[in-house]
Structure 1
């Protein structure tokens, strides 16, 4: 039997509501979920996720930080960092559900119930540090999923590819000295959060397991394709992972307001296809993507649609 692609999503992801006008808004779910469900009603498995047990959050985040986020359940909206990361009432549970989607995806890919997966979740995660919120992110979903794959399923090596327009400083920091997780990022530089220089390559046992590709303002599909051919795919070939996770931010699209990179939805489709082929060569096709950024609703829709079409392709 041919295995299907799964999409993990819930209408509950709209319950985390930053202040009006915030780019990381519930509209990213409420406006896109009905359209994507209509487009892919029968071609993918739509799965309602379950919340992550807190024990797995603790494998990445400090108890003090987890408690700080948990306490926001009882009060009014709280600014968790010095910038624009808010939490209140339902935010903690929604963040647990986002992480849960990724853990559910790991379980089902490992049990061969599904071929691959896209976790259509919010809030995003890749800026979240072990001890702090940052950049709209509460818990680092992809980092927790990687730790879960290693510890729960006994995998030896996980490759994380981050193509969000912003560098995933949190994910890099969490695994900077860990040789079991290769973190590769393509991001606009210089740009928020200011990390991700090409000289940041890991340290101690993790030396050589971090790869930062700084993309110049105005970079296009061809720039990214060259980076994949010359750097990303060779890194995967060399590392030989047991699973590939993608921090799939779509804010490097040419129409996104938070970046100055000029990718098209066709570019995202090509990148997805290249990673899917690498996953099939090295890790039995085990590949899970998790939504990070993407703030223009129309370009986000087109990019996710192209990404799913590539995941589905034979």
Structure 2
């Protein structure tokens, strides 16, 4: 079975101010790096409100729709902005994550990479932040549980920043295991080990600046994989941020492109053992364009290899 790629031209319409790290060129470079690969290519649909309401209250949707500008740029917080195309892009990003679940559950694809923006893992229940408007992965995880009737799902967030939004949205969801590795101290300042969730289903693994691939591989092998195996999820979600790359300008973790390929290979193999290979991966961070493109390509190559088995 093949690997699917979900994206949409609307995701280029979210335009942050000049010099902002979460720029349109990120998606352009990722898609260029994936050109010619053996992928089932589909357009990400718009999320419907019913899907978003699995995580966010109506007040959050109403506030964003009311705030969306017809012209110009609206600043929501220190680094989160909306322009006329932003809300549509955000609906595509969340919709792509939901559609990815449907494709995997329906047997259309072995696994899916959702290459959309804005990213999602910082968006809290009623608070857009950290470049994010909706909690894309959290919404997709709840969709898997509520619509497809899965009993348990797991999320691994290897973005260099803590997935505070995913944690907030799933804090009370005992059927969703959430594991985040992230540099600490670093934005957004959450992600301490004592943050465990209402059911002890959240594991935060703070990393010191300078953590390299050798140490990260040990953490994945000795901590993350056993946790997931014990939880026995029926689908694995990846918050695929590539800003833990040694060349990324926003952090100081020293992973290589090859490390991201290996991480994906090991997590996909794990999914093959515990949940029939069901993997949905959503693009999060990564702000050095060459490193992002190369790492995303390595990530997708590993998904393709896993899907072909």
- Classify the TM-score, shorter chain: over 0.9
In the TM superposition, structure 1's runs of 4+ consecutive aligned residues that sit over 6 Å from their partners are none
Q: Contact 1:11–1:30 (CA<8 Å) still a contact in 2?
A: no
What residue is the counterpart of 1:76 in the other structure? 72
Q: Contact 1:73–1:92 (CA<8 Å) still a contact in 2?
A: no
What residue is the counterpart of 2:292 in the other structure? 300
Q: Contact 2:44–2:99 (CA<8 Å) still a contact in 1?
A: yes
Superposed, which structure 2 residues align to 1:23-172 within 5 Å?
23-38=21-36, 40=37, 43-71=38-66, 72-81=68-77, 83-172=78-167
CA distance in 2: counterparts of 1:32 and 1:166, whole angstroms: 20
Deviation of the 1:44 alpha carbon: 1.1
Deviation of the 1:52 alpha carbon: 0.8
Q: Contact 1:164–1:248 (CA<8 Å) still a contact in 2?
A: yes
CA distance in 1: counterparts of 2:29 and 2:105, whole angstroms: 31
CA, structure 1 residues 31+309, in 2 after alignment: closer, same or farther (shift >3 Å)? closer
CA, structure 1 residues 26+213, in 2 after alignment: closer, same or farther (shift >3 Å)? same
More deviation, 60-69/156-165: 60-69
Q: Contact 1:73–1:91 (CA<8 Å) still a contact in 2?
A: no
Cα distance per residue 1:219-254 (max 9 Å; x no partner) = 011111111111100001110001000000000000
More deviation, 248-257/58-67: 58-67
Greater RCO, 1 or 2 (C-alpha within 8 Å, sep 6+):
2
Deviation of the 1:32 alpha carbon: 3.2
Secondary structure of the structure 1 residue equivalent to 2:186: coil
Q: 1:22 aligns with which of 20, 23, 26?
A: 20
Deviation of the 1:73 alpha carbon: 4.2
Q: Contact 1:74–1:89 (CA<8 Å) still a contact in 2?
A: yes
CA distance in 2: counterparts of 1:122 and 1:180, whole angstroms: 27
Deviation of the 1:75 alpha carbon: 4.8
Q: How many residues align?
A: 305
Secondary structure of the structure 2 residue equivalent to 1:197: coil
CA distance in 2: counterparts of 1:35 and 1:163, whole angstroms: 20
Deviation of the 1:262 alpha carbon: 0.4
CA distance in 2: counterparts of 1:4 and 1:120, whole angstroms: 16
Superposed, which structure 2 residues align to 1:192-207 within 5 Å?
192-203=187-198, 206=199
CA distance in 1: counterparts of 2:10 and 2:292, whole angstroms: 19
Secondary structure of the structure 1 residue equivalent to 2:35: helix
CA distance in 2: counterparts of 1:64 and 1:244, whole angstroms: 29
Q: State the superposition RMSD in angstroms.
A: 1.1
Deviation of the 1:306 alpha carbon: 0.6
Q: 2:270 aligns with which of 265, 278, 281?
A: 278
CA distance in 1: counterparts of 2:194 and 2:246, whole angstroms: 27
Does 2:240 match 1:242? no
Structure 1: any 5+ residue segments left out of the alignment?
none
Q: Contact 2:272–2:278 (CA<8 Å) still a contact in 1?
A: yes
Q: 2:258 aligns with which of 266, 272, 295?
A: 266
TM-score (norm 1): 0.95
Cα distance per residue 1:118-152 (max 9 Å; x no partner) = 10110000000010111000001000000111111
TM-score (norm 2): 0.96
